[in-house]
Amino acid sequence: MRRARPAGSCGGPAAAPAEGAAARSRRASLPGDPQAAAAARRFVRAAFADWSGQELPGADALSGRLGDEAVLLVSELVTNAVVHAGTTVELRCRLEPEREPGAESRGGRSGGPYRSRSGEPYPAPYAHAPGAGPDGAPGPGLLIEVSDHHPAQPVRAHDDAAEDGGHGLQLISAVAESWGVTYRRAMKTVWFRLPLADRDGAGTDPEPAFDGRLLQRGLRAAELLAPAPRRSAPPDHETDRAGNGALSFLAEASDLLSGQLDADQVAALAAQLIVPRLAEWCAVWLYDGDSGAPGRGIAPDGEEQRLARVWHTSENRIDALRTALEKQPPDLPDGGPPSGAPGAVPWPWPYEPGGYGPGGAALACPLVAGGRRLGTLLLGRGGLVRFPDEVVGLIEDLGRRVARAVATARAYSRQERISQVLQRRLLPRGRAQVPGVESAVVYEPREGAWAGGDFWDLFDAGDGRWCFALGDVCGSGPEAAAVTGLARPVLRLLARDGFGVAAVLDRLNKTMAREAADSVAAVAAAVAAAGAGAEAPVEIREEGEQARFLSLLYGEIVPYPGGAGGARCTLASAGHPLPLVLGTDGTVRIVAAPQMLLGVVEDAAYVSESFDLRPGETLLCVTDGVTERRSGRRLFDDEDGLATTLAGGAGLSATDLADHIRNTVHAFGPVPPDDDLALLVLQAAGPGVP
């Protein structure tokens, strides 16, 4: 059973013949902008896939080289139409069946039912296409038309007469078996046709052998895509038009490569861009180190290249080609030509078991970015003595773009590894188990953060005391991480030396204030030495470039002895969201008073408060990533939103309550939180519960 036709497909009434014709035809209208070529490629590929899904005769041939050629021609024609006309482009694809023997042609002209959009039969060259029968009727084929409109100025045949002998249609002439141009008063249509089968009904091989005819066509297409060599005379208008194909190819490659943040994905994409457009096979070798040694493309000392990707027009030959290439990795000499930009060099054709004939031409192109060698691009095409200079230039240009994409991906990977290592160092390796108290922690750095500014801790301070902390550094990035790296070790050291909650905050505040003062003094001295003026240090501190402050909720918990359940809590809040306690009756109360941020005033004095955490009661501590979660102009904690959420979790365990609050915070807004999110739950167990 055939699938239903997609919306927008053209065709006649629901009668069987008309329905069949409609199923084989697709039409699209594309805007005259730079995205038109990419949209055209997607449209044609989608039409091919739909025809294959319907199992239409000849559609299976569109999954191989024939389909690639059709997409290439459409891309070039649409690009030229956009560049020169700048108006809406009409694109039509038709999968044509073979005309039945003896069928009468319409209008008494050769070509029969195969007509242009204007309804006129195609000109004589169409009737003599390869695969045509004795009566001139073509065999099954793929017909594509690209039309551009000229509403302001009618098209005249003599306006573009030079195209037939110039560069405008050279690519379609080199690849298509038959083609033509139809002029109307306000429209020009370029059509081409690719045969799908011979007259005896033999289908086209989706991966045909690389015979001389295909080689000549493919190489000619590659030469036309390559940028024109430099000339002493200024390039004329026709030369500019000849380079449009290469520019569109390189622009598409840059767009695709720039979106990859993994070096292996860059290698895979580069190979598929090259095959089958410019080569029959391609391999990408990469160095696994962070970077090469400085210099003109110098490779890392003692480091071997890894074969990251191999691609071939015939997938069943990839494994054999990989085996052959791994036996002899490309070992290019260090440095490059006098210009300093390493270029592609001829390379011996790899011996591949089962390979064909004498081999062909191969190129090795070093991947160099920022003066560092990142790998090697190796590609080849069978049956050639050498690659044309124009194609070599295009490959070198593409190689530079691949190298930049690999460098970007590796820089991102290095930063991600540094961030992960720093996060592990800034956070405790685990949380202590407090007797008779169940604990749960949620910690989520904001999406894309280099390092989180929030931190937490729960540790054994000795003498039957367990200390907990939840902090938030003002700001983010490495500077905030440096404050976190200072605060957490100082907290542990002071607590284990026996200092109480208020005394710990007093000493940590002095430490941070002095660090901030030293930083500002150092900047002030540097600015004064440079003659920048006395007010610069004050401005730097106001902008927060050097001074970092810390909001902190710190406390200690002492379980009641004898397994009676519950614990005694002492805590203080320094510029931090106030802690809440959920009672066994579902009520919520605040158990601390607000105090000044740490690091602002050196001689600030902090006080602590104590209370009983009775069996079944829960202490909740959060950072402002929870309370200030936004949804439009509303904050999560508006109208006591946090207390309401906490009360809604009455009866839950510590772990389930933490998940309940986290899920509620995430669901509050339509986008992910834009700040770090951290919360600590401490729940006193009942009597006799360990």
> Which range, of 372-376, 387-391, 469-473, 541-545, averages the lowest pLDDT?
541-545
Range of the domain at 636: 431-684
Is it the case that residue 405 has pLDDT exceeding 60?
Answer: yes
Same domain for 375 and 265: yes
| Extended strands (E) in 528-685 | 550-559, 567-574, 580-582, 588-590, 594-595, 609-613, 618-622, 630-631, 634-635, 677-684
Q: Which of 419, 454, 478 is the last residue of a domain?
A: 419
Mean pLDDT of the chain: 75
Residues 604 and 651 reside in one and the same domain: yes
Report CA-CA distances (Å) from 298 to 371, 375, 404, 455, 533.
Answer: 7, 10, 16, 43, 46
* pLDDT at residue 48 tops 70: yes
Distance CA 616, CA 650 (A): 10
pLDDT digits (tens, 9 = 90+) for 106-152: 333 333 334 433 444 444 333 334 344 444 455 788 889 988 876 54
- On whether both 266 and 188 belong to a single domain, the answer is no
Residues 476 and 336 in one domain: no
Give the integer Cα–Cα distance in Å for 470 and 551. 9
Express each pLDDT in 151-169 by its tens digit: 544 444 333 433 333 344 6
Answer yes or no: do 115 and 173 share one domain.
Answer: yes
In a domain, 217, yes or no: no
pTM of the predicted model as reported, rounded to 2 decimal places: 0.49
Which residue reads 């493919």 in tokens? 218
In a domain, 209, yes or no: no
Same-domain check for residues 265 and 303:
yes
Residues 465 and 596 in one domain: yes
So what's the pLDDT on residue 649? 93
Same domain? For 319 and 408 the reply is yes
For residue 281, the cross-strand partners are 312, 380
Provide the CATH number for the domain around residue 73.
Answer: 3.30.565.10
Number of domains in the chain: 3
Q: Is 300 contained in some domain? A: yes
Stretch 637-649: mean pLDDT: 94
- pLDDT tens for 72-86 read 788 878 877 776 666
**pLDDT tens digits, one per residue of 577-634:** 999 999 999 999 999 999 999 988 888 999 999 999 999 999 999 999 999 999 989 9
Query: How does pLDDT run across 261-302, given as a tens digit for each residue?
Result: 888 888 888 888 888 888 889 999 998 765 443 433 445 555
Residue 451 — very low, low, confident or very high, per pLDDT cuts 50/70/90? low
Question: Is the confidence at residue 683, as pLDDT, over 50?
Answer: yes
Question: Do 160 and 294 share a structural domain?
Answer: no
Mean pLDDT of 482-495: 84
Same-domain check for residues 616 and 495: yes
Render pLDDT for 213-237 as a digit per residue (tens, 0 to 9).
444 554 455 544 544 433 334 444 4
- What tokens were used for 542? 């106001």
Kindly state whether residues 466 and 580 are assigned to the same domain.
yes
CATH of the domain at 673: 3.60.40.10
What is the CA angle 84-88-90, rounded to 5?
105
Same domain, 442 and 485: yes
Q: For residue 368, is it within any domain?
A: yes
User: Is 208 part of a structural domain of the chain?
Assistant: no
